[in-house]
Structure 1
Amino acid sequence: MPTRRVRVRHALATLLAIATTATAACDSHRAEAGPQPAAAPAPQPGPAGATAKDGQAPDTTQGPSGPGAAVADSLARAASPAIRALYVNRFAAQSARRMRELVALADSTEVNALVIDLKDEFGLNYRSANPAFAQNAGEMAKLRDVRALTDTLRAHGILPIARLVVFKDSVTARVHPQWTIRRPDGSIWRDHKGLAWVDPHQRELWDYNIGVAEELARLGFGEIQFDYIRFPEPYASLPRQVFPGDKGQSKPDAIREFLQTANARLDKLGVRTTADIFGLVTTVGGPLEVAQHWERLSPVTDVLLPMVYPSHYPPGSLGVARPNAEPYQIVFRAIKRARERDAALGITGRENVRPYLQAFSLGKPDYGAEEVRQQKQAVYDAGYDGWVLWHPGSKYAPFEAALEKGPLASRKRTAAAR
Structure 2
Amino acid sequence: MIKILFFILTTIYTYATFSGHVVDINSGKAIKGAMVSDAKHMVKTDENGTFHIDTKAEHLQIKAYGYLPIRVSNFEQFSGTSYKLKPFKLKAFYVNFYAANAKSKSFKNILKKIKSTQMNAVIIDIKDVKGNISYDTKLSEPKKIGATKITTISNLPKFIKDLKEMGIYTIARIAVFKDTRQAKKFPSRAVKDANGRVWIDTHDTAWVDPHSNRAQNYTLNIAVEVAKAGFDEVNFDYIRFPAKEGLRFAKADTQANRISAIENFLYRAKKRLMAYPLFISVDIFGYVAWNKTDTHIGQTVASLAKHTDYISPMLYPSGFHKWTLGYSDPTAYPYQIVKASILKAHSDIEPNRIRPWLQSFRDYAFSRKDYKEYEIAQQIKASDDCNTTGWLLWNPSSRYPYVNKHMFDLVKHSAIKRVKTSDQRGRISKKKSSKKTKSKKLSKKSIEKSSSKKVPKRAIDKKESRHKKESKESVNKSIEIIKPKPKLFNLDRLLESDGSDY
TM over 0.5: yes
- Alpha-carbon distance in structure 2 between the residues aligned to 1:385 and 1:247: 35
Provide the residue aligned with 2:354 in structure 1: 353
Identity of aligned residues (%): 31
Partner AA of 1:260 in structure 2:
Y
Is it true that 1:125 corresponds to 2:134 in the alignment? yes
Provide the residue aligned with 1:22 in structure 2: none
3-state DSSP of counterpart to 2:347: helix
- Alpha-carbon distance in structure 2 between the residues aligned to 1:251 and 1:140: 33
Instruction: Report 1:187-336 matches (<5 A).
Output: 187-235=197-245, 240-244=246-250, 250-336=257-343
In 1, are the aligned partners of 2:129 and 2:205 still within 8 Å (CA)? Answer: no
Point out where structure 2 has 5 or more consecutive residues left out of the alignment.
1-66, 71-84, 417-494
Provide the residue aligned with 2:115 in structure 1: 107
Is it true that 1:84 corresponds to 2:91 in the alignment? yes
> Whose relative contact order is higher, 1 or 2, with alpha carbons under 8 Å and at least 6 apart?
1
In 2, are the aligned partners of 1:167 and 1:199 still within 8 Å (CA)? Answer: yes
- Alpha-carbon distance in structure 1 between the residues aligned to 2:293 and 2:402: 37
Aligned-residue offset at 1:383: 2.1
- Alpha-carbon distance in structure 1 between the residues aligned to 2:182 and 2:137: 14
- Alpha-carbon distance in structure 1 between the residues aligned to 2:316 and 2:281: 18
Partner AA of 2:133 in structure 1:
L
Provide the residue aligned with 2:188 in structure 1: 178
Tell me whether 307-316 or 127-136 shows the greater mean CA deviation. 127-136
Partner AA of 1:307 in structure 2:
M
Query: Residues 354, 132 of structure 1: CA spacing in aligned structure 2 closer, same or farther, 3 A cutoff?
Result: same
| Higher Cα Rg, which structure | 2
Query: Residues 264, 403 of structure 1: CA spacing in aligned structure 2 closer, same or farther, 3 A cutoff?
Result: farther
Provide the residue aligned with 1:135 in structure 2: 144
Aligned-residue offset at 1:320: 2.9
Q: Deviations over 1:224-249 (max 9, x none)?
A: 001011111225xxxx3111266986
Provide the residue aligned with 2:431 in structure 1: none
- Alpha-carbon distance in structure 2 between the residues aligned to 1:278 and 1:285: 13
Q: Deviations over 1:71-109 (max 9, x none)?
A: xxx724359732111100011112523333212211222
- Alpha-carbon distance in structure 1 between the residues aligned to 2:102 and 2:330: 35
Provide the residue aligned with 2:159 in structure 1: 149
Aligned-residue offset at 1:256: 1.6
- Alpha-carbon distance in structure 2 between the residues aligned to 1:173 and 1:316: 37
Partner AA of 2:125 in structure 1:
D
Is it true that 1:168 corresponds to 2:174 in the alignment? no
RMSD: 2.7
Query: Residues 327, 402 of structure 1: CA spacing in aligned structure 2 closer, same or farther, 3 A cutoff?
Result: farther
Provide the residue aligned with 1:47 in structure 2: none
Provide the residue aligned with 2:73 in structure 1: none
- Alpha-carbon distance in structure 2 between the residues aligned to 1:272 and 1:227: 14
Q: Deviations over 1:130-174 (max 9, x none)?
A: 222322415334321111210111001101110000111001112
Q: Deviations over 1:392-415 (max 9, x none)?
A: 11111223245548xxx99x9999
In 2, are the aligned partners of 1:308 and 1:357 still within 8 Å (CA)? Answer: yes
- TM-score under structure 2 normalisation? 0.62
In 2, are the aligned partners of 1:381 and 1:413 still within 8 Å (CA)? Answer: no
In 2, are the aligned partners of 1:282 and 1:294 still within 8 Å (CA)? Answer: yes
- Alpha-carbon distance in structure 2 between the residues aligned to 1:101 and 1:193: 29
Structure showing the higher strand proportion among its residues = 2
- Structure 1 runs (4+) deviating above 6 angstroms are 246-249, 412-418
Query: Residues 200, 413 of structure 1: CA spacing in aligned structure 2 closer, same or farther, 3 A cutoff?
Result: farther
In 1, are the aligned partners of 2:311 and 2:353 still within 8 Å (CA)? Answer: yes
In 2, are the aligned partners of 1:182 and 1:241 still within 8 Å (CA)? Answer: yes
Aligned-residue offset at 1:203: 0.7
In 1, are the aligned partners of 2:282 and 2:312 still within 8 Å (CA)? Answer: yes
3-state DSSP of counterpart to 1:107: helix
Is it true that 1:371 corresponds to 2:379 in the alignment? no
3-state DSSP of counterpart to 2:404: helix
3-state DSSP of counterpart to 1:93: coil
Query: Residues 258, 246 of structure 1: CA spacing in aligned structure 2 closer, same or farther, 3 A cutoff?
Result: farther
Query: Residues 134, 379 of structure 1: CA spacing in aligned structure 2 closer, same or farther, 3 A cutoff?
Result: same
Provide the residue aligned with 1:57 in structure 2: none
- Alpha-carbon distance in structure 1 between the residues aligned to 2:166 and 2:175: 26
3-state DSSP of counterpart to 2:284: strand
Point out where structure 1 has 5 or more consecutive residues left out of the alignment.
1-73, 343-347
- Alpha-carbon distance in structure 1 between the residues aligned to 2:199 and 2:377: 42
3-state DSSP of counterpart to 2:207: coil
